[in-house]
Structure formats: structure tokens, C-alpha cells
Chain A
Amino acid sequence: MSLNRTRNFKFDWITILLFLLLVGFGWLNIVSASSSGDITSYFDMSQRYGKQLVFIIFTFVLIILILSIEAKFYERFASVIYLASMLSLIGLFILGKNINGATSWYAIGGFTLQPSEFAKFATALAVAKYISDLQTNIKNLKDQLKTALLIFVPAFLILLQNDAGSTIVYAAFFFVFYREGIPQIYLLLLLSIILLSVSALKFSVLITAIIVVVLLFTHHFFLKKKKGSILQPIFISLVCIVFSFGVHLFYNNILQPHQQDRISLWLRLEKDPEKLEQMKRTILYNLNESEKAISSGGITGKGFMEGTRTIGKFVPEQDTDYIFSTVGEEWGFLGSSFVVVLFVLLLIRILHLAELQKSQFSRIYGYSVASILFLHFMINIGMVMGLIPTIGIPLPFFSYGGSSLWGFTILLFVFIKLDSNRINEW
């Protein structure tokens, strides 16, 4: 019994502390961003900060629950959880509620629940379970495809619900596969795809083709030690050129106009100043206001509840996707950097713990957690500061919303539980 008691408390307190700091600081910013003037009670349920406080309190119930369940449970029931999660995503097509153009919510009473926030956790479990299976060999193409299918299903379902932002997050699993040993060629392929796409859109297909040909043939004739067939670089060049055309086709015909605009702005494709000015007033409005709010914070910020642009609600969606602009305005360079550092520390800590795991399941799951959190962190803050095109996904632990808070909490604390098991085994 006494042994049991000590076992229960051997959690990684550093991770928990970082989590608490993020949730606490996040809530303060939600108070600023969602309050209108005076605050009568922090539990005012008609206000978002009041609701979020309740969500946070419920989060602690959730944490206790997660930590008290036997660690083996998550591995054993991974498939069940995954299946249940996929069903909840499919169910949205029948029962889902449409908010802001995306059919991603179940409405239960006064609350809404977003199953895609939990699907990340379920997918991470399933991926960890499948790869760690003794019969699976990730270097094997068949197994690679099967694993990819595990990710593709939720990603596709979410895309169908018109939530492209959440779909992109599933790209995070690439880091997991890479860590677990998929061939280097995949990394090369990914990099090529990114570079080719950017180059094709930014500089046109012709320039891209010239660059590709020059690089490949230089490599073939001057750098490669073992000369192969001349057909190889010719073939690769052709594939790249075809791909570049494909990118244009995709950009012009498949992407929706607002998505085109976002990319066009990010790559500075639009040169007409009048149209740019008009874009600034419309699709760039959020970003423009968000950057202004952050800039106006200066070094030390305007102070808690003192952000004039926050109070004036100049930045739309400021308590959800654009919550970081509140940090920027009210806490300045110091506060914003503090948040960035907290996230980086949390991610590194999780990576570090993941590498320490003895069980492959725990390691893969931990890696998935770090990857998913990282992608959210990178996309969200990058977007708010205008570094990457607008993609609407929440900042973990910060943004307003019960589903995302609980989703990320479950994701993180299941790993903490798995990790405590590792400690206990020592």
C-alpha cells in the first residue's frame, strides 16, 4: 500500500509546472481579451473568462482521472479509443453543428464539443500502438502505408468538415515516423515538395525548372562519385516540373479564394498597391490588427487589462486563435518571450522524456505529443505575428475553448502517466 502511494506521485513535476504556468497565464489573457470593461466575478458564466475558469477546474478533475488509471490501459485500449474517436468524427456528418463554416461541433445543452480536438490524442495512441507492435516494421513500405492510413482517416474526415487548419496538424506525425526510422528519402521528398511549391508560386514554373535542372545536373556530373545513368536526373527533373505545374493547378483551381489570398499575401505575390490596400482592409485585417497590437506593447507592455487595442476588440478572435496578440500588447516583449520560452521548454522536456522511455509505445506516444504541440505552437504564433499564412488553429493551453483545452490536457497527461510508469520501473 505504501509502495502504491509513492508510485502515484512520481510524476514529472517540471512538465506539470510548465503546463500550469501556461494554463494560468493563458487564462489571465482570456480575461483581458474577453472581458468588456469591469469584472464583477471571475465565475461570471455569461463571460468567456468565467466559462474558461470552469473548464480549467474541470481539467483538474480530468487530470486526476487520467493519472489514476493504470498506464497499461492506454496501450491496451488504444484501438478502441481510436475507433470511438473516428466514429465521433463520422457522427458529425449527421449530428454536427456548423460554426463559422466548419461542421466540427456537437452541441450538448449550452456547450459545444469539438471531437477533432480529441482525435489527435486518439490518433497518437493508435500510431504508437501500431508502430510499437512487434509485427510492424516501419522501414517496410506496406507498414508505412498502413500507418499513414491511420493518420489519413481522421485528417480526411476533418478536412471534409471544412476545418483545413486542424488537418494540417496531422503533418506533425512526420516527425514521429522520421524518428522511428522511415528512410531519409522521405525527408528529402518533404523538403523538395515545400521548396518546389514555394518556388513555383513565387518565381513561376520556368525559373523553378531552370533551378532544378541546373542543380540536378551539377550534382550528376560534378559531385556524384558513382556516375549512374543520365536518365536519372532527366527523370527527376521532369517529375519536378510536372509537380510545379501541379502546384499551380492546385493553387488556382482547388484552393478556395480566401486560401489563395492568404498564400498570395504570405509570398508577397500581389504587387498592385491598390489591391494590396484593399486586402489589408479585408483578409489581412486580422493580421494587421494583431501585428499592431503586438507592436504597441513595446518592451514591457501596457499592463494587465490595460491593452487599449484588446479592450477595444480591435483584433477579431482575440481570445481564441489570436490570443497571443493580447500577450504581446499587455505583457510586451518580455511577457511574449516568456511564453515562447515556456513552450520551447515544455516541448524539449517532453522530447527528452520521450527519449528516456524504455517502452517503444511510450516513446512514440511522447514524440507524437511533442510533435502535435509543436505544430500548434509554430502555426499559431507564426500566424499571429505574420510569419506564416493564416491558418486558424488554437494555441495549446492558451486559447479559449473547453474542447481544445481538454484535448491537449488529455494528450499531455496520458504521456505524463506513461512516463511515471517508466520512473516507477526504475
Chain B
Amino acid sequence: MRKLLLFSIIVLVGITFIARLFYLQVYTGKAYNIYEDNAIRKVFYYPKRGYVYDRNGELLVANQPSYDVMIIPREVEPLDTLEFCSLLKISKDDFKKKFSRATNYSPRLPSPFVPQLSKNDYAVLQEKMWKYKGFYIQKRSLRDYQTTIGANVLGFIAEANQGEIDTDGFYQMGDLIGKQGIEKSYENVLRGVKGVKFIQKNRFNRDIGPFDGGKQDTIPTPGKDITVSIDAKLQAYGEMLMQNKVGGIVAIEPSSGEILSLVSAPSYNPNLMVGRERSGNYVKLRNDSIHLPLIDKGLLRMHEPGSPFKALVALTALQEGVIDEKFSVRCSGAYNYGGRRPMGCHCGTGTRNLFNGISESCNSYFATVYRKTIDKYDDASHAMDVWSSHIKSFGLGDYLGYDLAIGKKGNIPDGAYYDKMYPDFRWRATTNISNSIGQGEVLVTPIQLANMMATIANRGHYYTPHIIKSIEGQPIDDKFTTKHETTIDKRHFEPVIQGLFDVYDKSGGTANFLQVPGIEICGKTGTAENFTVIDGVKTQLTDHSIFVAFAPKDNPKIALAILVENGYYGARFAGRIASLMIEKYIKGDISRTDLENWVMDYTLEHEYEKPTSGKPFRINANSGLMTVKEYERLKKIESEQTQIEE
């Protein structure tokens, strides 16, 4: 027995040790991660973020250096907080708050303590940084916008949030990520690859040299420059024309699908979205509930297309063979289809065929044509499906697939849609006759309308609209170079295009007064009724002014859609702007200065104030136009009055 004492103790101690090792190394130990090892200092080198150029090579977005004070809470040693706070220009309470926030995030991992120092603050601080253990300065690059236009397209970068850090291992707390616009869409191209240097520290937190002989270090790879399809001059001109109005302009090059300009009005200076002032500015813009400057009107405004849709109704009817070019209708100023009240028509009475049907925008003609298309099949639901698939082949009714992260589907109803709406299946062409004139259940966004025009301009095909023109050293996504064919035969396009040309060319055309000398423009006016809810009551507002166009008629260079909210009839605001944009793009300068002056002279601000004014108001023809000067005078009087009242 005595022999066994030492033997048993030895075995027992051996087992205890292995159990302890298991506890320390396997049970509580995690897989080794060099980024969490506090014996290794990680120094990140941020690459240059890719520059952004416009289609003509004009630099739009460059970079500027910025310096963040970073913190690793568990490495912080007692410090002279008074001096540190004064260097950082923060209060002691701020210091405590920031410190506990960083500790809550992670005591081990770096997070920004005071982001984006000014150059002067940085210079002073850098000298004394060695004193503050656990703090260091991280250099990053912020955006430096070389322009004041295109904020909605260019987007902005900001600190990655926790969700983005979790989903993509590339980011750490304090890293910048594209949040909107092309910064978001092309984040992976623009950001490049961070470089990292691993430095071995000793227990006094001093660097003692590169870790592993620097074998695991990487150098930063600069982000790639990109060229966007935007024409900066056209974009700037569009933004100028849209002053004092709310709405959007989408211009596309039909032959490629490149977006030439994407104006959202009112816009804002992209430089507001840089640096420490970004979040304050962002909140200010977000709170502007009348103009909603952060909503991209060209991509996100969904409305009834109005008359421009008639072009598709005609094309569908031609394709289905229910009409031909000679088919004509006698318009009596209204279309009576047995509904509660007939559908009115503004074309003036007379015989309408395809050409003057389009150019004079005759409702009766298109109601007839639409009804013939749907009535072609006995089964209304099937007929609706056929009609719907023709329309959808123009890129309507679904996300277009362009390279900006926001959008709306719009709506092109099909048979199932109405079967659901009318569960007894008792619906016919006349039930949804409003579709024939682009009202009713049809909903589109301005970019979808622009793409529709580009498709008509191309006589039956389109390329997915896109904002990217080229990426340094790599081709753009091939989905942007793939042709999408419509279901309409090419031969049916010429008569419709002729009709669209007559809109400008014929004396009765709705845009006859908008002709631009030397350019053959095809276009179509549109007017969309719209409503809002005031104190729980659905209230109609002044119609949206819509215009679609492409030019020149042969070999088109530009197709566009314009939405001017509450601008009344299509030719009034949107039509004028369309002519100016086309002339600006094709000729480079403006001969129709009368149109330009008119557009610049008139404001719609008074229209936008109506719903929130609390006063009764008039709309459309009963609502007068107001010049910018008149509006300013009115504002001045109003503010004087409020001062007196106070």
C-alpha cells in the first residue's frame, strides 16, 4: 500500500494538469484571431477611394484626408484627461460618455473616439499622442466633391453601422462605407483593399518590430476610378431648370441605356454629406417634409403615366392586329362606354386616327383601341394577360434593374390582378377603360417612362438603364450591355413615332409651341391627377405636369421623361423643360431662350405650400401661375405680417 501513495499522487496531478490545460486552452480558449490579439498592434492603411468622373471626363468626386482618434479601451492607462479633452475640444462629460460607449462596443477592438479632426487639431494632437496609451490616430480619406450637382446620383459615404460590419468582415468600427447612390452601388469597386501592418508589441505596450518578419502584412490596393454616364453639364442645366419646382428628370441615351442625367428637385450640395457636419445636415434635409430633398424623384415617385402611355396602347393594338394605321374614330368630345359617366376628351371634336389621335391626345380614340385589344379574346382575363405582357416588355411594372439601390416596381395590371379585384370575375374592358389613357391601375416611375421612350426611340428594344459608363480596368456588368427586345414588331413603331413627331410638328399638336429649330423631336404630353389627404379628407391637388420625348426622330441621341409635381398640364412645365434639355444636350446651347426664361421665371412653391397652409385653395386652371419675384414679394409681406402680429 505504501508503494502506491506517490504513484497515485503523480497520476492524479498529471490528470489535474491535463484537465486544467483543457479548461484553459480548449474550453475557454477561442480559435486564434490575430485581430483580437493585443500583443499585436494592427496598423491599417486606407487606400485611395476611387475617383468619379462624368461621361466627358470631368472630375466629380475626389478625396480629402481626415483623421480619427481611435480608442482601444482595455489598453487605456490613466491619463491627464483635462489636457486630453482640451486637445480634442470635448468636455469631460463627453469624454466619459465616449469612453463608456467604446467600452460597451468592445474593450478589445478599436472604435472611433473622436472622428474626423480638422487638420489643425490633428497637427497639435499628433505631437502629444504618445502620452495617451490606448488611443491612436487613424488616417482615412473622406470625399471631396468637385461639384455641387448630382447629390442623388453620387450618394455619400459614412461610418459603417453594426449590421454592415457583421455582414461583411471587411469593415471595422469607424470604417467608411457607401451609403447611397453610386457610392453604395460601386462600393466594392471604389473602396479598394485596406493594407494592414502587424506590429509585435511587448508587455510595456511598446512596438518591438514587425510581427512574423512582416510576412503577413499587406499593402493597400487603391480603389478603382469610375466614370458615370451622367453628363455633368446636362445634369447641372436640368437642376437649374428645376429650381423652385419639385420633380425629376431622367434622360437616357437610347443606343446604350446610359443615364445622361438624373435630376431630382430640389437637390442639395453633396458637400453637405461630408465629415462631422454630415449627420446634422442629413437630419435637416430629412425633416423638409414639403420638398423631401432626400427622395430621388426620378426613381421613387410613382404615379399614373397619363397620356404618354397612349403610345404603348397604340403599339399593343397594332401588334395584336385589332387596328391598323387607317383605323379611325369619331370623337364627340367624350367616350361613352356605359359607365356612370362618359370619359371626357380635350382633343376637340373630329375624326381621329393613329397620328392625330396621338398628337392631339384623343381619349376617345385610345379608349376604343384599348377596348378592341381586350375584347379580341373572349376571356377578358387572358386578354388582359396578353396586353400586360406587351406593356411589361417595355420594362414597366417591375424593377428595371438599374445600378442604383432604390426604385419602385410600378404597376401594370394583368388578368389575375382584376380577378382578385373583382372576385366574381365580372369585369370587362370597360371596367378598366382608364388604363387606355394611362390612368386607373397603371403606375410608373419617371425612369420607367424614360426607358419606355428610349425603347420606342430604338424601335423595339432597350438596354437596362445604368449610371456606370466604365470602371478602371474592368468591364461593366454585362446585364447593361444585353439587349432587351419588346414583343412588338419593329414595323409598328414607325406610325406611332410619326404620331409622336406630330405632337411637335402639327399645328394641333399639344407641344407644337415647343419646337426647337433644327431638331426633330418626338414627344408626348401627360397630365396626372393626384391627391393628398388633408385632415382625413382626400383632396385633389393641381395635376402633375409630365412630358416624355426623344430626339432626333431618326438615330435618337436622347430619350427623357420629366415630372414636375403640381405643374398642371404636360406642356406647361415638363414640356418646356424637355425641349430645353434636348436642345442643351444635342446643340450645347439654347436658342429657345424664351422657353428658358419662362421656366426660370415661374415658381411652383406656392402650390407645394397649399396642402399644409390650412387655407382653402384652388387647383389646375383655377390656380394662377406665380413668378419667382411675385412669390418672394408675397413671402416678404407674409413675414412682415407675422412680425406685426407678434
Q: Is B16 in the interface zone, CB < 8 Å from A?
A: yes
B343 within 8 A of A: no
Q: Among residues 362 to 378 in chain A, which have CB atoms less than 8 Å away from a CB atom of chain B?
A: 367, 370-371, 374, 377-378
Q: Are A298 and B32 in contact (CB under 8 A)?
A: yes
Which residue on chain B has the smallest CB distance to residue A306? B212
Q: Which residue of B lies closest to A181 (CB)?
A: B2
Known contacts: A312-B39, A336-B25, A340-B18. The answer to whether A302 contacts B203 by CB under 8 A is: no
Chain A nearest CB, measured from B638 CB (Å): 65
B10 CB–A CB distance under 8 Å: yes
CB of B13 within 8 A of CB of A378, answer yes
Q: Establish whether residues B200 and A308, one from each chain, have CB atoms under 8 Å apart when the complex forms.
A: yes
| Interface status of A129 (Cβ within 8 A of chain B) | no
* Chain B residues numbered 1-55 whose CB sits less than 8 Å from any CB in chain A: 2-3, 5-7, 9-11, 13-14, 16-18, 20-22, 24-26, 28-32, 34, 37, 39-40
Known: A291-B24, A312-B208, A332-B25. A344 touches B6 (CB 8 A): no
Q: With A and B bound together, what is the CA distance between A194 and B25 in angstroms?
A: 30
Partner of A385, one of B7, B17, B31, B37: B17
* A contact residues, total (Cβ < 8 Å): 49
The answer for the CA separation of A390 and B247 in the assembled complex, in Å, is 77
Q: How far is the CB of B91 from chain A (nearest CB, A)?
A: 27
CA of A315 to CA of B2, assembled, Å: 40
Decide if A336 touches B21 in the complex (CB within 8 Å). yes
Contact of B26 among A299, A313, A344 (CB under 8 A): A299
Known: A179-B6, A347-B10, A378-B13. A296 touches B37 (CB 8 A): yes
- Indicate if the CB atoms of A374 and B10 lie closer than 8 Å: yes
Instruction: Verify if B209 is at the interface (C-beta below 8 Å from A).
Output: yes
Most chain B CB inside 10 Å of its own CB: which residue of A38, A179, A296, A381: A296
Complex interface: chain A residues within 8 A of B25 (CB):
294-295, 297-299, 328, 332-333, 336
Task: Determine the chain A residues whose CB is within 8 A of the CB of B392 once the complex forms.
Answer: none
Q: How far is the CB of A156 from chain B (nearest CB, A)?
A: 25
Minimum CB–CB distance for B23 against chain A, Å: 9
Contact with A along B199-225 (1 / 0, CB 8 A): 011110000110111000000000000
Q: How many residues of B are counted as interface, with CB atoms below 8 angstroms from the partner's CB atoms?
A: 37
Q: How far is the CA of A344 from the CA of B14 in the complex (A)?
A: 6
**Is the Cβ of B3 less than 8 Å from the Cβ of A355?**
yes
Closest residue on chain B to residue A386 by CB atoms? B20
Q: How far is the CB of A172 from chain B (nearest CB, A)?
A: 9
In chain A, positions 306-332 with a C-beta closer than 8 Å to chain B are 306, 308-309, 311-316, 328, 332
Which of B6, B200, B213 counts the most chain A CB atoms within 10 A?
B6
Q: Which of B16, B21, B202 has the most CB of A within 10 A?
A: B21
* A294 B21 Cβ-Cβ under 8 A: yes
In the complex, A312 Cα to B198 Cα: how many Å? 13
A278 contacts chain B at the CB level, 8 A cutoff: no
> Are B200's CB and A289's CB within 8 A?
no
**Residues of the A chain whose Cβ atoms lie less than 8 Å from the Cβ of B39:** 308-309, 311-312, 314
- Determine if A348 and B7 form an interchain contact, defined as CB atoms under 8 angstroms apart: yes
A337 located at the interface, meaning its Cβ lies under 8 Å from any Cβ of chain B in the complex:
yes
Distance in Å: Cβ of A273 to nearest Cβ of chain B: 16
Residues of chain B within 8 A (CB-CB) of A351 are 6-7, 10
- The answer to whether A337 touches B200, judged by C-beta atoms less than 8 angstroms apart, is no
Interface digits, A177-215 against B, CB 8 Å rule (1 contact, 0 not)? 011010000010000000000000000000000000000
Query: Is A341 part of the binding interface, using a Cβ–Cβ cutoff of 8 Å?
Result: yes
* Least distance between A360 CB and chain B CB atoms (Å): 14
Report the Cα distance A295→B36, complex, angstroms. Answer: 13
B30 partner residues in chain A, CB cutoff 8 A: 298
Q: How far is the CA of A374 from the CA of B18 in the complex (A)?
A: 16
Question: A336 — nearest CB in chain B belongs to which residue?
Answer: B21
The complex places the Cα of A297 from the Cα of B29 at a distance, in Å, of 8
In contact, A312 and B21 (Cβ under 8 angstroms):
no
Known: A294-B24, A311-B200, A382-B17. Is A179-B5 also a contact (CB below 8 A)?
A: yes
- Which residue of chain B lies nearest to A340 when distances are taken between CB atoms in the complex? B17
Digit string of B36-79 for contact with A (CB within 8 Å is 1, else 0)?
A: 01011000000000000000000000000000000000000000
Which residues in B have their C-beta under 8 angstroms from that of A42? Answer: none
A21 within 8 A of B: no
Which residue of the partner chain A has the closest CB to B10?
A347
Do the beta carbons of B24 and A328 come within 8 Å of each other?
yes
Given A298-B32, A306-B212, A308-B211, is A370 in contact with B21 using a C-beta cutoff of 8 Å?
no
CB of B1 to closest CB in A, whole Å? 10
For the complex, what is the distance from the CA of A340 to the CA of B34, rounded to whole Å? 28
CA distance A385 to B18 in the complex (A): 11
- Taking A308-B37, A312-B203 as contacts, is the C-beta distance between A343 and B14 under 8 angstroms? yes
- For residue A175, CB closer than 8 A to chain B, the reply is yes
Task: Provide the bound-state CA to CA distance between A118 and B30, in Å.
Answer: 43
B16, A289: Cβ atoms closer than 8 Å: no
CB <8 Å contact, B6 and A371: yes
A37 CB–B CB distance under 8 Å? yes
**A387 at interface, CB cutoff 8 A:** yes
Q: Which listed residue, B6, B21, B211, B212, touches A340 by the CB 8 Å rule?
A: B21
Q: Which residues of B contact A336 (CB under 8 A)?
A: 21, 25
CB neighbours (8 Å) of B28 from chain A are 295
Chain A 341-359 interface 0/1 with B at a Cβ cutoff of 8 Å (1 = within): 1011001100100010000
Q: A298-B29, A314-B202, A370-B6 are in contact. Are A344 and B211 (CB under 8 A)?
A: no
**Nearest residue, chain B, Cβ from A345:** B14
CB contact under 8 A between A313 and B202, given known A175-B5, A179-B2, A371-B6 = yes
A263-294 interface with B by 8 A CB criterion: 289, 291, 294
A308-B37, A351-B10 given; A333·B22 CB < 8 A: yes
Contact with A along B374-414 (1 / 0, CB 8 A): 00000000000000000000000000000000000000000
Q: Please, which residue of chain A has its CB at the minimum distance from the CB of B21?
A: A336
| Chain A residues within 8 Å of B24, by CB | 291, 294-295, 328, 385
Q: Which residues of chain B come closer than 8 Å to A367, judged between CB atoms?
A: 6
Closest to A297 in B: B25
Q: Which residue of A lies closest to B201 (CB)?
A: A312
- Residues in chain B near residue A340, CB distance under 8 A: 14, 17-18, 21
Inter-chain CA distance A347–B14, complex, in Å, is: 11
Closest residue to A333 on the B side, CB-wise?
Answer: B25
- Bound-state CA distance A175–B10 (Å) is 12
B202 touches A312 (CB 8 A): yes
Measured between beta carbons, the chain A residues less than 8 angstroms from B16 are 387
**Chain B residues with CB under 8 A of A343:** 14
Given contacts A37-B209, A311-B200, contact A385 B10 (CB under 8 A): no
Q: Mark A12-55, 1 if CB is under 8 A from B, else 0.
A: 00000000000000000000000011100000000000000000
Looking at the assembled complex, report how far the CB atom of A412 sits from the nearest CB atom of chain B, in whole angstroms.
16
Knowing that A314-B202, A387-B17 touch, tell me 4 more A-B residue pairs with CB under 8 angstroms: A296-B29, A298-B32, A312-B202, A314-B39
15 contacts between A and B (CB under 8 A): A175-B6, A178-B5, A179-B5, A295-B28, A296-B29, A297-B29, A299-B25, A308-B39, A312-B39, A328-B21, A328-B24, A333-B22, A337-B21, A374-B10, A385-B24
Which 9 A-B pairs rank lowest in CB-CB distance, beginning with the nearest? A344-B14, A308-B39, A333-B25, A312-B39, A314-B203, A175-B6, A295-B24, A340-B17, A312-B202
Binding site for B on A (CB under 8 A): 36-38, 175, 178-179, 181, 187, 289, 291, 294-299, 302, 306, 308-309, 311-316, 328, 332-333, 336-337, 340-341, 343-344, 347-348, 351, 355, 367, 370-371, 374, 377-378, 381-382, 385, 387
